[in-house]
Amino acid sequence: MDFKNVDMGKLALQLRKPEGDVGTEVGAAMAQFNMGAIAFTIECLDIQPTDHILEIGFGPGEAIAEVVRLTPNGYVAGIDHSPVMLEMAAHRNHKAMMQEHVELTLGDARALPYEDESFDKVFAVNVFQFWPDPTTELAECHRVLKSGGRIAFFLTHPTSWLPGIRETGVFTAREADDVKKNLANAGFTNIEIRETKTEPDGKGFVVMGEK
């Protein structure tokens, strides 16, 4: 899919929640577009082989596959509110799901279906922009993280967004310092910003914190 020659309003809604055949195409494009962002976020997470990890908004499931590879003695959970993305990610991670190394769930970040203190790491790549007021989502992330656990959000910087996408109003534009404040308000500590410039994604940053 050529992201530059489509209706930006429709594309923005598809990026927020991929649906139908177009959603499958958008998912395939995401897998390419977010590759560098995923690699950078995973690097920041310092994943250990026994970690229990949650990804929010897994999309087509590329990051899940990489995290599975890095946690041979761990466990990986993923949640996404798009049935189309669940289907794509389940196809991509079929073997690991059969081995009960991974569990993918249809659901919303505002109500995470996990016990308190379940995960060593929680992360999301280009999902935070869809949370205009992230208070509930961050409270949920804080609840499911173990004490000492790490959270990481990657956001493509608004200056690297596709032309016209900002005007759709579907995405909330934030600087790294805004996200840092959001994390601090939610009770996270040792908050750190790491900036990157990865092609083809353009400029982006990870904001990390600890519980």
Ligand X SMILES: C[S@@+](CC[C@H](N)C(=O)[O-])C[C@H]1O[C@@H](n2cnc3c(N)ncnc32)[C@H](O)[C@@H]1O
Which residue lies nearer to ligand X by CB, 100 or 133? 133
**Smallest gap from residue 124 Cβ to ligand X (A):** 6
**Smallest gap from residue 134 Cβ to ligand X (A):** 10
d(CA 56, CA 61): 11
Pairing of strands 102-106, 119-125: unpaired
Rg (C-alpha) for the chain, rounded Å, is 16
**Smallest gap from residue 88 Cβ to ligand X (A):** 9
Which residue lies nearer to ligand X by CB, 109 or 183? 109
Which residue lies nearer to ligand X by CB, 148 or 163? 163
Position 34: which residue type?
N
Contact positions vs ligand X (CB under 6 A): 15-18, 30, 34, 38, 56-59, 79-82, 85, 108-109, 125-127, 130
Which residue lies nearer to ligand X by CB, 64 or 73? 64
